[in-house]
Structure 1
Amino acid sequence: MEEFYRNKTIFVTGSTGFLGSMLVEKLLRSFPDISKLYMLARMKGTMNLIERSEEYFKDPVFERMIALNPNYYEKVSWIEGDLTMPRLNLSEDDMAIIKTVDIVIHLGASIKMKNPLHEMIKNNLFGTAELLKICLDNKNIKCFMYVSSAYSYARKSCSRIEEKIYEPILKPETLLDISNALTNGELDEIENVLMQDWPNSYTFIKTAAEYHCDTFKDQMSIGIFRPGTITSSYSEPYPVWVKSKAGILGAIILTVTKVLPSYYVDKKAMSHAVPVDMTANALIASTYDVIQNKSKDTKIYNYTSNNNPITFYDSFIIATKNKGTSIITYNYYWNAIKMFTLLYLPYLFMDIFRYFTLQKPKYLRLYEKISDFIEAILYFNNKSLIIDNDNLENIWDTLSQHDKELVPFDLRVIDWIDYFNNVPYGIEKYYGIKMKI
């Protein structure tokens, strides 16, 4: 696999996120002979791209890579752009670069599941459509890999997600046309009708974006990578490195810091947990597989812990050292009552006190954020889903021993008890959040 990636030019969106950072680290550390790694980034305040790059590579995740590959910066080139803008707001020179790269890995997306539909269309569908149009002019492209989610077709009525393209209730082109024709307010008004079988706008739009990618399969090799619930690193470059507060990680933080008074979860709901370093390895292997097979059909890669499962409940209880048991609630309405009486009311009274002491109220806004987060993960904590993952298992079985050591992603080796026991220490080390364990 090292030889395969030698001299390849790779364009990555979403490189500043959790999985994106890990992917960049792995490529620069384990595949130092890639020709160039182009990374799309938006402007951040008044920082230019050089300053942004310096800040980015200060993250502890890159320390080992920099020690092994001190000239890494020669391989890296930042491209200023915006996935919410036409043509990604790229300059002509940058457009020309993307039209010559070998591999495009499209990670960029909003994961704020409570976002209204109009924002999800803009953030997660429009940018994908624009990038695909740009890539149509690339005669050199060997793979367009779209990073989706194992929950991309996680409807309320769904019990199994297969490795196939699902047809959305509205075609992507129709959604984009509606988005252009209606105001945000008008689109919000019909949101519930459109998404009545979906738990949130995130999964709804992921289905549409995947379908849109599939329509380009005759023009370029398309792959769709669907990871499960991404968690702290397993071993690379260091154990329990973390750069995310999403999903189970957020619930662990809120519990161990004694903020969350109640957590509604189904004991049988599988977490489909996948450590971020293994996920990056699986993504690299999937991209390799798409190019090697040269299939005319879009290849889907679900990446979940089916063969070494752990429930949300167990991962939560292990990580909180059983402290989470006291707040676990199995009834939706009882959970709502506890959240209201044990969190909302105290926060309300604290804000009233702040108001009368001439301080700016802040606790009800904090309650709203916590409540939105808990509601966003509610479906995933309480839905028993079977997610097929045969394609990546087949890749693993055919890899040489050298490649298995180069990109380890076999989740069957993980001792989940040992792993989740250590997750809070990673949160404390890399986030500086004091975990009372």
Structure 2
Amino acid sequence: MEQLKQNQLNIVEFYVGRSILITGATGFMGKVLVEKILRSCPGVERLYLLMRPSKGQSVDCRLRGFIQNQIFNKVKEQQPNVMEKITAVKGDMTLPELGLSSSDLQLLIENVSIVFHSAATIRFNEELKTALEMNVKGPMRLLEICRQMKRLEALVHVSTAFSNLDREEIKEEVYYNPEVNPVKLIEYLDGLDDDTLKNMTPELLGECPNTYVYTKTLAEQLLETTCGAVPLAIVRPSIVTAAVSEPCPGWVDNMNGATGTIAVVGKGIYRVMKINAKFISDIIPVDYPINLMIAVAWYLATHRPTGVPVYTCTTGHRNPLTWGILSHWTLESWKKFPSKETLWYPSVWYMNNDFLCKINQTLFHHLPAYLMDLLMMVTGKRIKWVRLYEKINKAFAPLEFFTTHQWQFISNNPIHLMEEMTTEDQEMFYFDVRKINWQNYFENYILGIRRIVFKEDFNTLPLARSNLKRLFMVRQILPFILSMFLIFVFNYFFLSLFLLGPQTVIVFSEIFSL
């Protein structure tokens, strides 16, 4: 009878009176998750956020800063006391029992019924030991605490669509290497010293591009193998980008991944990239996996599916967007809403050939950077451009594997889940990627970068557009000036040879014949 009542609850009703534990709440996706739950599920009892002290700040200090984030402005207007529902618990994913005090541990065991786990190290080039601690052992420590929770109804683990990249078609299931037992592998790696593990990393990774993908794949296998009676589901988003609609169109608060690349292109700083323009980009707006996670927890608790369901949250399968089309709409949007401080007219060249890419990056990135730093040094200003390009290159290099390869991510389970939801729930907790209008999306994305990341007010647009027009004229005139300069040099060279006499011509001919 109780299960029947559960099945009849819509998502908003389901969350009434329930307490939720969220890991990774201070991250990009975590903040969107907290805001969405508070705003759309006003009946929720309490949100417990796992936080660790950071940069000399206590957990209480971090919580005060967290709740002041502008992402919560709208929900605080609607529900003035809503932030009182948030409780920070001091913890660390890399410590036994997550570093929780006995009182906090008991608090979670007695009250939590839903767990969203999104904490992870997302650095692609992280040391394997660190990545294992955070991305593999962390979820296992959390799983052990979930076993003790008296009211637990759902554990939603956030993984990545880029698990199992050894396959061209990646289905919604947990894949295993039949030659490797994930439990015994972890036991074996635990017995290695740091240097040995570091030396073995390339062999362990094999064709896997980085430690992030390797450890997220391993975590999936371990969780499915050992979850037992814990109700577990896995959500796999791809490249997470700015929001389509919520908390506001184009919301993004960092320069990580695709956003950083789009930002430096818009500033006219970066113009040559190693990307295959014909391949699917498979970005996913952040509000889509967040809504999916909330719906998955509801379905897991109310319908109790067998096994460990996997939900792939990508766009390539249902609403494909190539890197070339992404570039088109991005550049068009930057031209419509330019930044007020643009170095060069926004443009970008995609190249798949490594040699040609490096040659062009030298010509259009590094050489101008050295010239600008030289000019700044002569004028007594602080040099910055070479260092900036080195930083951008370092950030973009790990992404090249994903921009020059393509996979087919099968995404059927989100569609099946939508069929179980009411029309009202589908509208409130939307994740149907087929409805995304990419042109409108990128216009809002660029406006979000301008307003939130660059801190540029909308009233700066007239000045920005005026500057862009000047840069456009410079771009149009510059090839003509360069052509005239080359013609002048060419003519001067041969005129000099003529004036110096035939003997000089013979000498130069001999030199070039060598």
TM-score, normalised with respect to structure 1: 0.92
Letter in 1 for 2:16: R
2:322 is matched with 311
Contact 2:76 2:83 in 1 (8 A): no
Contact 2:291 2:431 in 1 (8 A): yes
Q: Between Structure 1 and Structure 2, how many residues are aligned?
A: 435
**What is the DSSP-based 3-state SS (H/G/I as helix, E as strand, rest coil) of the residue aligned with 1:38?**
strand
1:165 is matched with 174
Stretch deviating more after TM superposition (163-172 or 260-269): 163-172
Q: 1:90 to 1:345 in 2, by over 3 A?
A: farther
Over the residues paired in the alignment, what is the CA RMSD in angstroms?
Answer: 2.5
Stretch deviating more after TM superposition (9-18 or 284-293): 284-293
1:124 is matched with 135
Match of residue 139, structure 1, among 150, 168, 178 = 150
1:355-374 Cα distance to aligned partner (Å, 9 max, x none): 99999986665444322321
- Structure 2 portions without partners, runs of 5+: 1-10, 336-344, 469-514
Equivalence map 1:28-427=2 (5 Å): 28-100=38-110, 101-155=112-166, 158-168=167-177, 170-305=180-315, 306-321=317-332, 325-344=347-366, 347=369, 366-427=388-449
Letter in 1 for 2:323: F
> How far apart, in 1, do the equivalents of 2:70 and 2:378 lie?
44
1:260-303 Cα distance to aligned partner (Å, 9 max, x none): 23112112221222211222111111111222221340010001
- Structure 1 portions without partners, runs of 5+: none
> How far apart, in 1, do the equivalents of 2:379 and 2:226 lie?
61
Q: 1:201 to 1:348 in 2, by over 3 A?
A: farther
Match of residue 451, structure 2, among 417, 429, 433 = 429
Q: 1:88 to 1:340 in 2, by over 3 A?
A: farther
- Displacement after TM superposition at 1:25 (Å): 0.1
- Displacement after TM superposition at 1:393 (Å): 0.5
Contact 1:218 1:296 in 2 (8 A): no
Letter in 2 for 1:139: K
> How far apart, in 1, do the equivalents of 2:52 and 2:376 lie?
37
> How far apart, in 1, do the equivalents of 2:189 and 2:95 lie?
14
Q: 1:175 to 1:258 in 2, by over 3 A?
A: farther
- Displacement after TM superposition at 1:414 (Å): 1.5
1:26 is aligned to 2:36: yes
Contact 2:268 2:347 in 1 (8 A): no
1:338-377 Cα distance to aligned partner (Å, 9 max, x none): 3345434555677789999999986665444322321221
**What is the DSSP-based 3-state SS (H/G/I as helix, E as strand, rest coil) of the residue aligned with 2:226?**
coil
2:474 is matched with none
Letter in 1 for 2:124: M
Contact 2:288 2:313 in 1 (8 A): no
**What is the DSSP-based 3-state SS (H/G/I as helix, E as strand, rest coil) of the residue aligned with 2:244?**
coil
- Give the structure with the larger helix fraction: 2
- Displacement after TM superposition at 1:116 (Å): 2.5
Stretch deviating more after TM superposition (354-363 or 117-126): 354-363
> How far apart, in 2, do the equivalents of 1:360 and 1:333 lie?
32
Q: 1:376 to 1:426 in 2, by over 3 A?
A: same
Q: 1:255 to 1:402 in 2, by over 3 A?
A: same
Contact 1:317 1:325 in 2 (8 A): no
Letter in 1 for 2:309: K
Q: 1:341 to 1:182 in 2, by over 3 A?
A: farther
Stretch deviating more after TM superposition (71-80 or 52-61): 52-61
Q: 1:11 to 1:326 in 2, by over 3 A?
A: closer
> How far apart, in 1, do the equivalents of 2:375 and 2:60 lie?
46
**What is the DSSP-based 3-state SS (H/G/I as helix, E as strand, rest coil) of the residue aligned with 1:10?**
strand
Stretch deviating more after TM superposition (174-183 or 69-78): 174-183
Letter in 1 for 2:395: F
- Displacement after TM superposition at 1:67 (Å): 0.8
Contact 1:121 1:175 in 2 (8 A): no
Identity of aligned residues (%): 29
Letter in 2 for 1:84: T
Contact 1:319 1:422 in 2 (8 A): no
**What is the DSSP-based 3-state SS (H/G/I as helix, E as strand, rest coil) of the residue aligned with 1:152?**
coil
1:92-115 Cα distance to aligned partner (Å, 9 max, x none): 112112323101110001111122
1:18-68 Cα distance to aligned partner (Å, 9 max, x none): 111000000001111111110011112333333222211222211111111
Letter in 2 for 1:102: S
**What is the DSSP-based 3-state SS (H/G/I as helix, E as strand, rest coil) of the residue aligned with 1:320?**
helix
Q: 1:298 to 1:324 in 2, by over 3 A?
A: farther
Q: 1:81 to 1:357 in 2, by over 3 A?
A: farther
1:3-25 Cα distance to aligned partner (Å, 9 max, x none): 11111111000001111100000
Contact 1:316 1:324 in 2 (8 A): no
Q: 1:339 to 1:181 in 2, by over 3 A?
A: farther
1:205-255 Cα distance to aligned partner (Å, 9 max, x none): 111001111023322111000112211111112110102323321211121
- Displacement after TM superposition at 1:71 (Å): 1.2
**What is the DSSP-based 3-state SS (H/G/I as helix, E as strand, rest coil) of the residue aligned with 1:274?**
strand
> How far apart, in 2, do the equivalents of 1:174 and 1:137 lie?
24
TM-score, normalised with respect to structure 2: 0.79
> How far apart, in 2, do the equivalents of 1:326 and 1:408 lie?
33
Letter in 2 for 1:310: L
- Displacement after TM superposition at 1:178 (Å): 4.2
Q: 1:175 to 1:431 in 2, by over 3 A?
A: farther
Letter in 2 for 1:335: C
> How far apart, in 2, do the equivalents of 1:201 and 1:252 lie?
25
